[in-house]
A and B are shown apart, each in its own frame.
Chain A
């Protein structure tokens, strides 16, 4: 194994502060960090948000914000202390020797340049003395070779594609190819798969591991997902409260955690994924459906050239019933039309064909150009940092639905807001806060409260927990459950994470390429999927968390 090889990166006693005008000591972000990374090793860093894992990555890459202050320690790389290098030398090192990939691959690309052009630029702008001056043809063949290396079967198509023409997973792989072109010795990956769906996630992680082996590349892999880290890493560092509390092999960490925080992380990671006994709800199949969707077709015109356009079908003949008080899971890979379905249901876009009925009343009949009436559907988005207006206070946001519909007067509004805040588990002091003063989990509670204000009969939750830490995920799911039980609100729960779906949903619908391919009671579909698509999806998830499943079974 590679453990005995020499360290490529050695971080010793690193402490970092941000000067704070209100405090003499400043705002500590890292304290006394010590770890090493050996040649060809994949070292994972896990921790909740705010634990300092991104700051560690930025410190190694030399991309710290200007006002950050290193108070002690050194970062040895390639025999040099990175903290003592001149900024220009440091920049040269980043790219040539240290590669970095980020969470959101789209923002790393210029939309007007093809992938090939981006990768060419990588080669031309870094005049690496070790590389011979190459001609355009030579560069192209090297790029194609590298694209094949990161798992593309048709590198030439990717070479000529624009960033928006390829999927998120492909973009992330193209980005990895770009950083590998310069043959770095260290790759820093900051949450590289968080924005991707399960199937793609597992592909990228496998790819990364294989690349690390074949190029003898050291990887610093940062993630909040303990199970994902376990899958790829040789050793794992657990960060908590700005320091590393444990640094061990993944096996040791998972089976005999020594630090209480590690144990807590493992517990909550499992809690999210452990199937549990379904609580009592007032859901029953015998009731007539709450929302009935029949023969829904949607598409958009993709204009190609002046007037010419091509019709893209997104939803094809979608039929689905949602019963009062149930939690219906909706799963499917990215781009299968889940989000479009939620947009149609909430009336944000129109469909071309089909009907939607609520409690037997026709809400929309798109074939007769009858637009969607505002029906009682609420929506909770995936990203809690984006779904609350940053310029307004929490109480203003919660009052807004009541205010615009003139439902009740000022005083009544205030009492309802306080009641709703306590319903979603927030104290009354939060009413005066602005969204940026809240954590991700708290924001998601507020987002849920906003959509509950008009007492809807259905709430669509579009990946409501995937942007949150594992421990917070469990709390939010608990809250969804509680609201479903106490208020009898039906949920359409969209997720990539199948074990979450299994643990909280009564029924599940599987979507593929704009169609509902399978729907039924959760255990039936999960245990005996009747279609190929469904069984493929379920397999990808099992591959993704092999050991977590095993540990659960053995308990």
Chain B
């Protein structure tokens, strides 16, 4: 009866978020079509070359083109965050659904497991994982996926617990829908308003953690470029060659900020979290 027309604020958030994150998407597309320089070629002559028509973002301490390395960094960051979220989402969906659907002691055991993962600081746990299993891109993705799965498990568990006693779910089980179909087909679509912002914010958190790990030296290994790695390399030359640190920082900022704005816009649109009606 009370039809509440959405506040126009969410459109603003979505637009800003869209513009910011589209920079990163364009950078990735560009990197496949046109890469100005080899990202690993060290040209001593162009060491610390300032931004110019030839080197758009200048060059770093090995004379590598910062623009090309930023493009490559975008590729890696998005790869790590997307696949990390996929792993976290799958694990979280599996464990959260089991805990939420069965309840009782199953719920206690699963949640104990996920809470004990949550009890460690995320990046620290990922660092331990990488230290044990080595630091390839795939290990980083797995590490981040495992570290971040508990928050998704909570979204699924809470959602299923709230929905499974609702009358439309009871109706479905009366007509004979089996548990797996009940959860996947009847319950999951109703979790989308909560899941979509969680996924978007998860992408940002993964990207930040990857940058943090690379900055600490346990993330993406040389000679590949990631934004966090570029920041670590550039910090010693921050005064002589500020361009080596400005451009990767800005890229990271745009990606994170864009995703935060998108998630905020979606939350307002669906009336979630602190925007709850």
Do these two chains really belong together in a complex? Answer: yes
Q: Is the CB of B174 within 8 A of A386?
A: no
- The listed residue (B1, B5, B171, B173) touching A67 by CB distance below 8 A is B5
Binds A, one of B89-97, B162-170, B206-214: B162-170
In the complex, which of the residues A54, A66, A401 has the most CB atoms of chain B within 10 Å of its own CB atom? A401
Q: Which residues of A lie under 8 Å from residue B277 when comparing CB positions? A: 65
Interface residues of B in 139-198 (CB under 8 A from A): 166-178, 181, 186, 189-190, 192
Q: Which residues of B lie under 8 Å from residue A54 when comparing CB positions? A: 1-2
- The listed residue (A20, A346, A390) touching B190 by CB distance below 8 A is A390
Cβ of A87 within 8 Å of any chain B Cβ, yes or no, is: no
A160 to chain B, nearest CB (A): 28
What mask results when residues 1 to 40 of chain B are scored 1 for a CB within 8 Å of chain A, else 0?
1111101000000000000000000000000000000000
Q: Is the CB of A27 within 8 A of B189?
A: no
User: Given A49-B1, A65-B2, A404-B181, A386 and B168 touching (CB < 8 A)?
Assistant: yes
A94 CA to B5 CA in the complex, in Å? 25
Q: Which residues of B lie under 8 Å from residue A66 when comparing CB positions? A: 7
A387 CA to B173 CA in the complex, in Å? 12
Q: Is the CB of B168 within 8 A of A387?
A: yes
What mask results when residues 8 to 38 of chain A are scored 1 for a CB within 8 Å of chain B, else 0?
0000000000111100000100000000000
Interface residues of A in 384-441 (CB under 8 A from B): 386-392, 400-401, 404-405
Q: Is the CB of A65 within 8 A of B4?
A: yes
Q: Is the CB of B172 within 8 A of A389?
A: yes
A391-B189, A405-B176 are known; give 4 further A-B pairs, CB within 8 A.
A383-B167, A387-B167, A389-B189, A389-B190
Name the CB-closest residue of B to A346. Answer: B174
Cβ of A487 within 8 Å of any chain B Cβ, yes or no, is: no
Q: Is the CB of A50 within 8 A of B181?
A: no
Q: Is the CB of A400 within 8 A of B2?
A: no
Q: Is the CB of B2 within 8 A of A348?
A: no
Q: Is the CB of A21 within 8 A of B172?
A: no
Q: Is the CB of A348 within 8 A of B1?
A: no
Q: Is the CB of B174 within 8 A of A18?
A: no
Name the CB-closest residue of A to B188. Answer: A391
What are 8 pairs between A and B in contact, CB < 8 Å? Answer: A27-B3, A67-B5, A386-B166, A388-B168, A392-B189, A400-B172, A400-B175, A454-B175
Cβ of A40 within 8 Å of any chain B Cβ, yes or no, is: no
A50 CA to B2 CA in the complex, in Å? 8
Name the CB-closest residue of A to B193. Answer: A391
Interface residues of B in 181-236 (CB under 8 A from A): 181, 186, 189-190, 192
Cβ of A379 within 8 Å of any chain B Cβ, yes or no, is: yes
Interface residues of B (CB under 8 A from A): 1-5, 7, 166-178, 181, 186, 189-190, 192, 277
Q: Is the CB of B177 within 8 A of A404?
A: yes
B196 to chain A, nearest CB (A): 13
Q: Is the CB of A18 within 8 A of B3?
A: yes
A377 CA to B170 CA in the complex, in Å? 13
Q: Which residues of A lie under 8 Å from residue B176 when comparing CB positions? A: 374, 401, 404-405
In the complex, which of the residues B1, B176, B177 has the most CB atoms of chain A within 10 Å of its own CB atom? B1
- The listed residue (B7, B171, B177, B178) touching A447 by CB distance below 8 A is B171
Number of residues on chain A facing chain B (CB within 8 A):
37
Q: Which residues of B lie under 8 Å from residue A522 when comparing CB positions? A: none
User: Given A379-B174, A389-B186, A391-B189, A67 and B168 touching (CB < 8 A)?
Assistant: no
A49 CA to B3 CA in the complex, in Å? 13
A27 CA to B190 CA in the complex, in Å? 28
Q: Is the CB of B3 within 8 A of A348?
A: no
A348 CA to B174 CA in the complex, in Å? 7
* A-B pairs under 8 A by CB, number: 76
Q: Which residues of A lie under 8 Å from residue B169 when comparing CB positions? A: 389
Q: Which residues of A lie under 8 Å from residue B177 when comparing CB positions? A: 400, 404
A54 CA to B1 CA in the complex, in Å? 9
A404 CA to B177 CA in the complex, in Å? 7
Interface residues of A in 348-391 (CB under 8 A from B): 348, 374, 377-379, 381, 383, 386-391
A520 to chain B, nearest CB (A): 29
Q: Is the CB of B1 within 8 A of A450?
A: no
Q: Is the CB of B4 within 8 A of A18?
A: yes
Q: Which residues of A lie under 8 Å from residue B7 when comparing CB positions? A: 66-67
Cβ of A245 within 8 Å of any chain B Cβ, yes or no, is: no
Cβ of A289 within 8 Å of any chain B Cβ, yes or no, is: no
B52 to chain A, nearest CB (A): 48
Cβ of A347 within 8 Å of any chain B Cβ, yes or no, is: yes
User: Given A386-B167, A392-B189, A400-B177, A55 and B172 touching (CB < 8 A)?
Assistant: no
Q: Which residues of B lie under 8 Å from residue A387 when comparing CB positions? A: 167-168, 171
B180 to chain A, nearest CB (A): 11
A239 CA to B10 CA in the complex, in Å? 35
Q: Is the CB of B167 within 8 A of A348?
A: no
Q: Is the CB of B174 within 8 A of A21?
A: no
A528 to chain B, nearest CB (A): 37
A450 CA to B174 CA in the complex, in Å? 11
A400 CA to B175 CA in the complex, in Å? 9
Ranked 8 nearest A-B pairs via Cβ: A391-B189, A387-B167, A401-B175, A389-B168, A381-B167, A386-B167, A346-B174, A391-B190
Q: Which residues of A lie under 8 Å from residue B192 when comparing CB positions? A: 391
A27 CA to B181 CA in the complex, in Å? 40
In the complex, which of the residues A50, A389, A400, A447 has the most CB atoms of chain B within 10 Å of its own CB atom? A389
A451 CA to B174 CA in the complex, in Å? 9
A374 CA to B189 CA in the complex, in Å? 26
A49 CA to B178 CA in the complex, in Å? 37
A455 CA to B178 CA in the complex, in Å? 20
Name the CB-closest residue of A to B7. Answer: A67
A66 CA to B173 CA in the complex, in Å? 39
B193 to chain A, nearest CB (A): 10
Q: Is the CB of B175 within 8 A of A19?
A: no
Cβ of A453 within 8 Å of any chain B Cβ, yes or no, is: yes
B188 to chain A, nearest CB (A): 9
Q: Is the CB of A18 within 8 A of B5?
A: yes
Name the CB-closest residue of A to B190. Answer: A391
Q: Which residues of A lie under 8 Å from residue B174 when comparing CB positions? A: 346-348, 377-379, 451
Q: Which residues of B lie under 8 Å from residue A67 when comparing CB positions? A: 4-5, 7
Q: Is the CB of B171 within 8 A of A21?
A: no
A355 to chain B, nearest CB (A): 20
Q: Which residues of B lie under 8 Å from residue A49 when comparing CB positions? A: 1
Name the CB-closest residue of A to B169. Answer: A389
Q: Which residues of B lie under 8 Å from residue A390 when comparing CB positions? A: 168, 190
